[in-house]
Structure 1
């Protein structure tokens, strides 16, 4: 398969929003409160892309996944109830969503691996992320990929499980 991970373009907001809407419905069907309050929305995606932080996973020309990727930019992470593994520069993963047709094929793991490569290419050796307490699928992905549970962070008044992975420099 021919997969690429690249910055999203403003012209792709509709396709990305369709994938996020599918994920919002899946979260609800799983009994999760995550993403059930009007966030994320197309305006959030537009801001991600305008700031150069919106990324898509594509197979050929087809967008199959979306994620926001930020560097050192998550104020909520300063107030963790617990402890991060590192205090150096870090990459943040937000809003991972996979197209309905590509579920169960390891696409979310692929996005996270691409983000880890992105971090290393920027000489950053820490990736941090968080998820809702009831997003079992995402917690399993983090654990399977070697992320360490570090404590709780709070977004819009809700506690979230915070994870970090320290990447190894490759020579």
Structure 2
């Protein structure tokens, strides 16, 4: 996300299958195929925080995802990340369960969400 010719935010779009999404506890994926795209590494620069740019970033990401022809989107976040959970809810993502990421440097438990685009 560029604001006044500066990078204000970023995210990664990763086409499935994602090994971290193979197992889900306390729920299940609505779309069980590997035909999905995942949003990862969402960040807004501290210089631009408080400007509600997450809404703009997510709207742009969903437009790119639709343009790429994907109908199913997944996202996950740390259970304490209330901000991203709020954004997921705001954009219509449904809570689907708990996944565990393979990264020894962080707590592995994540809340997993899924969105089906029109």
Q: Same fold, TM exceeding 0.5? A: yes
RCO (CA 8 Å, sep 6+): is it higher in 1 or 2? Answer: 2
1:102 partnered with 2:52: no
| Cα deviation, residue 69, structure 1 | 0.9
SS in 2 for 1:140: helix
Query: Matched residues in 2 for 1:105 and 1:124: separation?
Result: 29
Number of the residue aligned with 1:154: 100
1:165 partnered with 2:106: no
**Among 106, 123, 130, which residue is 2:76 paired with?**
130
Query: Matched residues in 1 for 2:42 and 2:21: separation?
Result: 18
What is the number of equivalent residue pairs in this alignment?
Answer: 112
Q: Whose Rg is larger?
A: 1
Unaligned runs of 5+ in 2: none
Query: Matched residues in 1 for 2:52 and 2:15: separation?
Result: 24
TM-score under structure 1 length normalisation: 0.62
TM-score under structure 2 length normalisation: 0.87
Unaligned runs of 5+ in 1: 1-56
**Among 14, 30, 48, which residue is 1:70 paired with?**
14
**Among 65, 75, 84, which residue is 2:29 paired with?**
84
More helix, by proportion: 1
Instruction: Tell me how large the CA RMSD over aligned residues is.
Output: 1.4
Ranges of 4+ aligned residues in structure 1 off by more than 4 Å: none
